[in-house]
Structure 1
Amino acid sequence: MVGIAPAAHAASTLVVPRDYRTIQAAVDAAASGDTILVQGGTYTEQVVVSGKDLKLKGVGNGSPVIKSPAQLTPFAQDVRHGVPVTSVVRIAHGAHVRMSGFTVTGPVPCGQLASGITALQSSSLDLSQSRVIDMLPAPSCPADQAFGRGVTIGLPDFIQVDGAAGSTASGRITRVVVTRYQTDGFNFNGPSEGTPSRVIAKNNVVTGGAQIPAVQAGIVVGGAVATVTGNLVSHAVCTFPGCGGDPINEFQSSGIGAIGTASGTQISHNQVSDADIGIYQVFSPNCCQIRHNRLIDNRFFGIAIQDGDGTTAHNVISGGQVGIGVIADAVDTTGILRHDRIRRTSVAPVREIQCCGFKATAVVKPD
């Protein structure tokens, strides 16, 4: 007797609120391969896509808004800060999601590391033509309990999820606007061991600004290999106690930060303005290609390379105190600076800063 293979699932289109009142109800009812169309309106809910391949698309007049409820259910624990980890939209357990045409908004709860959208646990997210706004707790939240991220891809070791230290994911983020976040606009991360997360962030707009004192970063690349290109990043300014222009003894916010970043990351053709440090590579030796960026009026440094060798090439830097800083206070650090154009700095185009017996060396290779 010849067996007959079961018929493949015929992809369906589910419409919210026509077919299902909430987005989560539609996600629960959908099978892999389905499309969920969400019509305009405000949906106050936490959405979780687990283990499915889905397309989520906002349609109709005005983008649908997914608004954070007053309480978000945690899925992990940040052991560094001692707070639960939550997200308004979460893509988990190997799900593959294409999402476009939405606004995801806070405010978010005090005392939680909350993101607008998070991908983790070997899932992938293709996010486009969307906004993530107001990832901020209420102004009454104490500064040491105030967290809020726009989009998170992967998690570092200090976040424990389902018994694992950190989590890997992949993502492509294009034409997304993130504005008014507490800590990070985008955070791309992963565990220190094993395959890193992989992310492309292209042609996005990230604007800082927090009511509660904060150390901010527009885009953070940690335990990930990322291509960060064509983004417009602005107004990441440190307002936390201890902020200032000394990179060894004080805190700074960065437009784009490479912090403990794996090699292979590209940071190119971005415009970063009005941050403390435009592009900040720290504890990431030879991680990155930093080239063809425009750094405008970043108040302390256009680019800083600290505690790990790095290279720059063909960047245009104007305004601020120092164009490029090479800084050593934990390891000897050399910066190879090729064909960068620096003008209108108030202190120096290039500056070496060193401490504690370590040597900083800037090797400038002009046009």
Structure 2
Amino acid sequence: MKLSDFDYELPQELIAQHPRQTRGQSRLMVINRSDGSIRVGTFNDILTYLQPGDALVLNDTKVFPARLRARKSSTGAAIELLLLNEVKPGEWEALVRPGRRVEVGTRLSLIGARQADTVEVAADCGKTKILRFYVEDVRRLCWRIGEIPLPPYIKRRTEPADHARYQTVFAKRVGAAAAPTAGLHFTTELLKELRDRDVQLEYVTLHIGLGTFQPLEYEEVEKNMLHQEAYALTEKTASRLNEARKRKKKIVAVGTTTLRLLETVVNENCLFEPKNGFSDIFIYPGHTCRSADALVTNFHLPRSSLLLLVSAFAGRDLILRAYKRAIQERFLFYSYGDAMLIL
């Protein structure tokens, strides 16, 4: 299978650079796998497609303000740090830009922090570096001076509004480097309306890493591997999802990250097993999705693992036809863009 078979041309002006003025104003494209139909509407139309007892599964991960700005203590040169994960207390793996200017032993001063709060490059791991922080609490520091790490295709600096709009309204468990963007369309009012209609709202956790933005390396799809991401499905949630399945109610995954988690924990009998750990599941055409009956998702980059995933779920031809229609209808794409519901 060739990666070039999952390419398409997207006008740059359709890449959303900001969220819509009000959360929930997104447009919604509904594609039906059984008859190939495509409908266009607004996101609140999702109420039409969910019935009492259906389970809507949402990823409650919360984006960490992991982007820090610094200067080299020796020269004052500007450096950008993007924290990925804590290796041990006080030491973090990070992306450093421009990395070639920052050697092991380099000391950095953090912009916005106290003069005594400094960072030292402790090790070079190739694409990433290990940073040693001389601060009392790195996480508290990030919440005070850090920025939300917007995706690379958003060509602007982080703005104050992003700290709210690049989080879902149900975000709870801190640990993501990127938002589960299909969840950004849901408002507290819409979630209440769904509950009032007896739609089951279920929460799972998968902490999205920056690898979600990394391009696939090989033209031959099967040669590629995905990064690992931490996930958790509780016993109570697994039990409720299994009950919904036994009652023949729909299980609707909100986002590719939710679907990846569910596909990780579903067994050969199409039932869910409570687990936590790390998943590097790579879903592409040929994979049979057993965990969900429908998927809410955004519009994804060409040649990306996310486009491969939705193609596995709905079929390549139908997805590319839907994307062509979305471009004609001037839908907005990617993280701050519009939504798709695949039935």
When the two structures are superposed, what TM-score results if normalisation uses the length of structure 1?
Answer: 0.24
Q: Which has the higher strand share?
A: 1
Q: Which has the higher helix share?
A: 2
User: Structure with the greater relative contact order (CA < 8 A, sep ≥ 6): 1 or 2?
Assistant: 2
